[in-house]
Every structure is written in C-alpha cells, then in structure tokens.
Chain A
Amino acid sequence: MNSVAFVVIAILTLAAALAAASLQKLIHAALCFAAAFVGVAAFYFLLGAEFVGLVQVFVYVGAVAVLIVFTILLTRRDAERERGFHWSGALIALAIFAGLLWAIVRTSGLSVAAPWIAPLTVRQIGEALMTDYVWPLQCLGLVLTAALIGALVLVMEEKG
C-alpha cells in the first residue's frame, strides 16, 4: 500500500465529507457527497477490495447521488438554502470523535502492517454469494423489492 496515495485520498475524502456536511447550498452539498463517496471507493481499491469499490461507485455515485439531486430539485420551492444549524450537534460529534480517537490510540496491536494477500477475485465473491451467503442474498432481494414498492407507494399521488 502506498502511503502517498493514502494521504491524498484521506485528505480529499474528509474535505469533501466536511463540505457536504457544512455547505449552505443543497446542490453543492450533494455533489460533495458524491465526491466523498468516490474517495471511500478509492480507499476500498487501496485495501484490495476492488469489487466493493466498484459497487460503491455504481450504487452511491451512480444511483443514490442522482436520487438525492432529484429530490432536491423536486422540493426546491422550500429552501434554496437553509440556515438552521444546531451547534450542540457539532459538540456531540466532536466529543464522540475524541472518544473514538482515544480508544483507537489506546488499543495496542493496531499498528500492524498489511500482510500479503492473494487478490480476491470476483469469481470467489460470486461463489461465496451462491454458497455461504445464499440466504442473506435472497433476503436482500426481498428487502430491495419491498423498499422499491414502498417508495413507489409513498410518492404516488393520492387520487380522490
């Protein structure tokens, strides 16, 4: 693993995430959200999980970001920009980050180097999905179908 790549990806991801959390204009925040998720996908590539990185790009940058942009456009009349900001939330997030950081730094045995790893092929993932994970896969299909139908029912116009 390349440490230069790590630093660059980390800075880009965290900057984009912070921008997505703090920008005033919703549409800019949505674009920064997409950029942050490209960064997370780059982390997956760096860690040797190429398939997950591709899934992340397809699902988040391809589908969820488009959904968010469409929702922003559909609810536009409300607030092009919104002003309310609760500082107590920022305090809670900072406190939790401090706690997590303390726990991570205090835990011993985390500063290990990555072992050599045989590349994880899509064939292996597919075989695992069809053998060990076949029931979770079926349940996930059911959940996705139910979510799709539920979303359609929710946004359908009520007819008198």
Chain B
Amino acid sequence: MNPTLQLFLIISAALFCIGLLAALSRRHAIFILIGIEMMLAAAGLNFIAFWRFAPQPAPPTGVMVTVFAIAIAAAEAAVGLALVITVYRHYRTTNVDQIDQLKG
C-alpha cells in the first residue's frame, strides 16, 4: 500500500502542532523561533504534497511557493536571531516572560 495524500496531511498537521507547542509553551526566545520555523516547514510539506497528488500534468506552483517560503523563513530567522541577541544585550535574559517592559 502506498502512502496517500491523507497520511501526508496528517504528518504535516502533527509537525505544525509540535511547532505550535514549542512556540506557545517554551519561555526561551530561541525555542519560539524554532517552533515558528517548524510551522513554516509543515506548511511547505502541505504545498508539496498537494502538488504531487494533483491531477497531472500540473504546473509546479506548489514547488515554487515552497522555495519562496523557505527563502522568506531564512530571512525571518536571521532577523529574529539578531533581535534575540539585541534583547539579550539590553536585558541580560532571553526569557520572554522577563522581557515585559512594553506590557501595558
């Protein structure tokens, strides 16, 4: 039996929720970034799976969207990690619960 589209979607949903778990429950800024990257990868996996299981011949739209998403995720990671380093210089911590000066 070959894997069906459903199985890929379930794996992708699981990966998304693990990323969500990391982003919501960990208190370290780097963990939150890792979680966001995982959610983006889950979305990319969905795009590729739908492209692969679409009626053929299909234009490579899903592949293109995933390549662009990977590039944007890399840019986001670079800026996010730079922000983590800057915040660490100011507050001497990377725990997001202690960085609460902007809290209303």
Complex CA gap A150/B85 in Å reads 13
- Note all chain A residues with C-beta closer than 8 A to B97: 84
Tell me the total A-B contact number using a CB cutoff of 8 A: 252
- Note all chain B residues with C-beta closer than 8 A to A74: 85, 88
Asked if residues A37 and B25 are in contact (CB atoms below 8 Å), the reply is: no
Complex CA gap A9/B64 in Å reads 23
| Residue total for B at the interface (Cβ-Cβ under 8 A) | 74
Mask, B63-104, CB within 8 Å of A = 1, is 110111011111111110111111010001111010000000
Interface of B is mostly: helix
Closest 10 pairs (CB-CB, A-B): A89-B24, A89-B25, A84-B27, A147-B75, A21-B22, A97-B17, A151-B82, A93-B21, A100-B13, A154-B82
What are some 17 contacts across the A-B interface (CB < 8 A)?
A: A14-B15, A17-B15, A17-B18, A21-B35, A43-B11, A49-B52, A64-B77, A74-B85, A79-B94, A89-B21, A90-B25, A96-B17, A96-B20, A120-B60, A128-B59, A144-B71, A147-B78
